[in-house]
Amino acid sequence: MTYQELFASILHQKSYLCVGLDTDLRKIPAHLQSEADPVFAFNRAIIDATAEYCVAYKPNIAFYEAQGPKGWESLRKTLDYIPKTHFTIADAKRGDIGNTSGLYARTFFDPSSAGLEFDSVTVAPYMGSDSVQPFLEFEGKWVILLALTSNPGGADFQRLSVNGKPLYEQVLTTSQQWAGADRMMYVVGATQADAFADIRRLAPDHFLLVPGVGAQGGSLEAVSRHGMNSHCGLLVNSARGIIYASSGPDFAQKARLEARAIQQEMEKYLDQFLPH
Amino acid sequence: MTYQELFASILHQKSYLCVGLDTDLRKIPAHLQSEADPVFAFNRAIIDATAEYCVAYKPNIAFYEAQGPKGWESLRKTLDYIPKTHFTIADAKRGDIGNTSGLYARTFFDPSSAGLEFDSVTVAPYMGSDSVQPFLEFEGKWVILLALTSNPGGADFQRLSVNGKPLYEQVLTTSQQWAGADRMMYVVGATQADAFADIRRLAPDHFLLVPGVGAQGGSLEAVSRHGMNSHCGLLVNSARGIIYASSGPDFAQKARLEARAIQQEMEKYLDQFLPH
């Protein structure tokens, strides 16, 4: 999916919601546990319930990996089930020396490898250019690089001062030499609202993938006010708040209501903050 | 495996060699391709040929993940086959917010999760304390944190100056507040020989996992001279140089000879550099 196609999808859906598929076998409603593949049965119901209100889905790879080989089967079936109109993110936070990153890139981008073809993958920046480059060699695919994450420990290194600027700003500027806004996005946590203005100055055109709204306490209003650019430039993720809105048989219906409430709030902010 | 047990194993084997199982289906000798599980058949032969000369095995998770569900089966069988006398490293370079890192930790440490129980896992530091802590909650297991990696891009961020010191030194000092030398090791590339003296000043007791000898050009002699401490404190990895020493039917025999040559060099350095 291209930059323009993603923007068109946001305008069409009146939403920049990404639904996080952090599907934990231990949290799936009891009535689904007897299904042959409870994780896929859960995801399918969540996708059916929310597709109308979002533009992207983000399976969190840890949750599938923790189930061993059958988890990777659930992931493949889930990815196949997501409508082609929606942007897909493998939230894997990979990154290694060049030849190894090349294999991670094949895993998530080349369907002849592990049976998966995501639009994008999240990548950790610590190992630098040649750990990111192999992901960019897949035409039309996106790297979503960690910049300023939503967790408390994010401050341990990301906000350290390098030449008078925080490290995450250095990550933003250095990595723009590797790819432009048409191939790279950045992870910026919603809990870091103070940083959005600075980040927009350094990366005015890029899409930002924003976790941390909801369970982690970030404000959608603040993120939208300070983060939106002329192509929206935001994908705001919500996982637990939507997929675990209810633990009963009505989980999909409750997920739908949560997603719709966020979409309606986003429709308002698109009207309010998107330059006309 | 404890710190003292690992040191005892090094003295017993007269070796601090870690064999990297970067097993690429495309590079496995032709005569193994007809096996039901060529990756496992290859690894089993490599383990049989090299166990006498090494103290650790390090499957590079990307190579298994790229094969989808059957790759995870090959990984599980490989891990089960490694003798319990040998230290095992899941080279996965994971790291995410707390609850997600907790799932990665279960994947590699809790056999009831994905069927795997490694002694250790490599972790990326960018997301800070709460991305590392969940791995430390598994009693007796190790975190091997990226400090100064062997690849060219390692310099992009790891050597940036933070308060007058390179970032990787900050990673070394901050992370020592999370765990001691009995639970944490650091990745330091063999291509970074200039840094070993500084690193030993900051982390005198820790084990260092050292990739980059062989194919990447690092010197085993320099690493051993500058990196060895009173408990050896080194696990030097070699992957391609051993496992792909030959692409013919004699691959295991050639791997054995390569591993033995490195062990013999290490025996000399243990004699020369280990304080008596």
pLDDT tens profile B250-265: 999 999 999 999 999 9
Homologous superfamily of domain range B3-273: Aldolase class I (3.20.20.70)
Mutate to test the interface with A, among B79, B93, B130 (most CBs of A within 10 A): B93
The per-residue pLDDT for B167 is 97
The H or E element spanning position B145 is strand B142-148
- A152 and B130 within 8 Å at the Cβ level: the answer is yes
In a 3-state reduction of DSSP, which class is residue B69?
helix
The shortest CB-CB distance from A60 to any of B65, B100, B158 is to B100
Predicted pLDDT of residue B77:
98
Please give the pLDDT value at position A233. 98
ipTM: 0.96
B157–A126 C-beta distance less than 8 A: yes
Cβ-contact B256, B50 below 8 angstroms: yes
d(CA A182, CA A179): 8
Residue A108 contacts residue A144 (beta carbons within 8 Å): no
What local confidence, expressed as pLDDT, does residue B191 receive?
86
Q: pLDDT value at position B192?
A: 81
> Distance (Å, rounded) from C-alpha B51 to C-alpha B87?
11
Task: Cite the active site residues of A.
Answer: 93
Amino acid at B25: L
> In degrees rounded to 5, what are phi and psi of residue B137?
-75, -10
Q: Does the pLDDT of residue B214 top 80, yes or no?
A: no
- Among the partner-chain residues B68, B113, B132, the one whose CB lies closest to the CB of A72 is B68
Chain A residues with CB inside 8 Å of B146's CB?
Answer: 126-127
B116 CB neighbours in chain A (<8 A) are 68
Among B116, B124, B128, whose Cβ lies nearest the Cβ of A154? B128
The residues that bridge with A148 in the sheet, in sequence order, are A188
- Asked if the Cβ–Cβ distance from A151 to B66 is below 8 Å, we say no
Contacts of residue A116 in chain B, CB cutoff 8 Å? Answer: 68
Q: How far apart are CA B225 and CA B229, in angstroms?
A: 9
Sites in chain A below the pLDDT cut of 50: none
Q: Which residues of B touch A162 (CB under 8 A)?
A: 160-162, 167
Query: What is the number of CB-based contacts under 8 A between chain A and chain B?
Result: 190
Q: What is the pLDDT of residue B218?
A: 83
